[in-house]
Amino acid sequence: MRDERDDPLALDQDWACPLPLTGFEQALELTLFQTGLTREQWLKRLAAELHRQALLPVLWLLPRGWRLSPAQLPPRLQTLAGIMERGLLTPTLLTALADDLPHLLPAPGANQPTALELWQRQQQLPGSLEQLLDGNAEGGDEPLDQPQAPSQPQRSSRGSELSGGLVWHNVGLEHDQSAAERRRNSQAAMVLNRLGANLLADPVGASSWSIDGCSCASSWVESLLERGWQARAQLRCSVASFGLGASVPREGQGWSQVPLALPIRTGLLDANGEELRALLPHSCLEMELSCGNTVMRLQYYQGTEGLCGWEGLNDLHRPWQNDRHNGTVRYLGEPWQGNQLLQALQLCDLIALIHNLEASERQLLHGGYGSLGFCIDSSALLQQAMEGRCQLFPVLLGGIWRERLGRRCDAVAAGLERLPEHQQALERYRRALEALPLDSALHGPQAQAARQRLLSSQPGSSPFRLVEQLRAG
């Protein structure tokens, strides 16, 4: 019998879940047996489909025995495959990879919007809270950020050849909110981004955009509070799957969900001198705006969408990964409310300004995702700046990019002279850049502190045995 330690995505079959679950490696084996494909044939077909951007994260999630060799991949991906072929990723490798991505891959195409263009888009925005709530803003029928997975799989011949029965989405899952509510979340996120982008212009100039007479995110949220709304925000972590889901058919009827995650080596030792492994977290600042039965859910992070900023919190409800009540989402610290929340919103605007400027002027891929930090780094910066501490692991924002972001601070400082609140946010951000840990090479007291941050970044409850082993050890 294969040693379970060889499968870092092994599941605890006793973990309470309202849906049937199947481990990823077991799902791959089962679907191959059903089709008669060999592992090599399946990998060859997967390599042929990697022009589909949505499948690229599969490269990072495949178990070790299922890794594609560099020779099987398109030339643009061979360097990345060579890095991963021999084992799990580490913070050191992730930091080095993020630093080198602008050199390894070509710059974004001319037809791709820059981070600044995404941040300040306004052609489909509501002009008032009432328009936002009514859904009457121009573009109100735009598609959602993350379309709902169909209740039945889409059976194309090419998809069947690739999956062998494994479906690359979660069949039958639903969202916590309706389509209209999720569309409202996305619109509210665009409103906050556009308000933040007013920092690019003269704050009293004609080019400033406003909603309900407010021209910055903190003033608009403050106006909502004055109208009886409630607002709170809190940093959170959950297991990252890069938006991917998977399902396999069950014997008889129905579907079993396949939990996905990216295991990493941590660079930290356990009590026996063995290197600890963990699952890479996704992190963001979650904000909820509510009044009566109306609830808007938003998230702020440095993301793969191409910018640093706000997005609607519109994920599929995956009980094993992102349930806000069963422990699979880990909330850090206390919620930010009142004046503390308003200060956090000013800081979010300031970080987005600096990061999106840097990403756009340097033509960084995906709006600087990786080079300027991953989602966990933007959360770490927020916590360090707001609370003077960091509970997140791994922090991967490299030294040269911290230096560049520090210089960008100097460049934007003059434009904030008329905005004392944002000047204060700028100083908080500077201090956070200096104080934030870097987890690419840890030893001694730093390693001990990093282990505490590692544990605080893990879910309180998870079907992955690796999470429970880490918490127990």
In the predicted structure, residue 335 carries a pLDDT above the cut 90:
yes
pTM: 0.87
Average pLDDT over residues 214-243: 97
Per-residue tokens: 108: 């974004």
What DSSP assignment string belongs to 334-390? EEE-HHHHHHHHHHHHHHHHHHHHHHHHTT-GGGGTBTTB-HHHHHHHHHHHHHS--
Per-residue tokens: 208: 């400033």
Q: How far apart are CA 375 and CA 235, in angstroms?
A: 11
Average pLDDT over residues 160-184: 84
In the predicted structure, residue 107 carries a pLDDT above the cut 70:
no
Give me the percent of the chain exceeding a pLDDT of 90: 63
Least confident of 80-94, 187-201, 361-375: 80-94
Q: Binning pLDDT at 50, 70 and 90, where does residue 318 land?
A: very high
Q: Binning pLDDT at 50, 70 and 90, where does residue 291 land?
A: very high
Q: What is the pLDDT of residue 330?
A: 98
Q: How far apart are CA 154 and CA 338, in angstroms?
A: 46
Cβ-contact 361, 102 below 8 angstroms: no
Distances (CA, A) of 163 to 49, 81, 115, 131, 170: 11, 21, 34, 43, 13
Which positions ≥6 away from 400 have C-beta within 8 Å? Answer: 99
pLDDT digits (tens, 9 = 90+) for 385-440: 999 999 999 999 999 999 999 999 999 998 888 888 899 999 999 999 999 999 99
Question: Domain coordinates of the chain in residue numbers?
Answer: 92-151+184-241+268-472
Q: What is the pLDDT of residue 143?
A: 43
Q: What is the pLDDT of residue 340?
A: 98
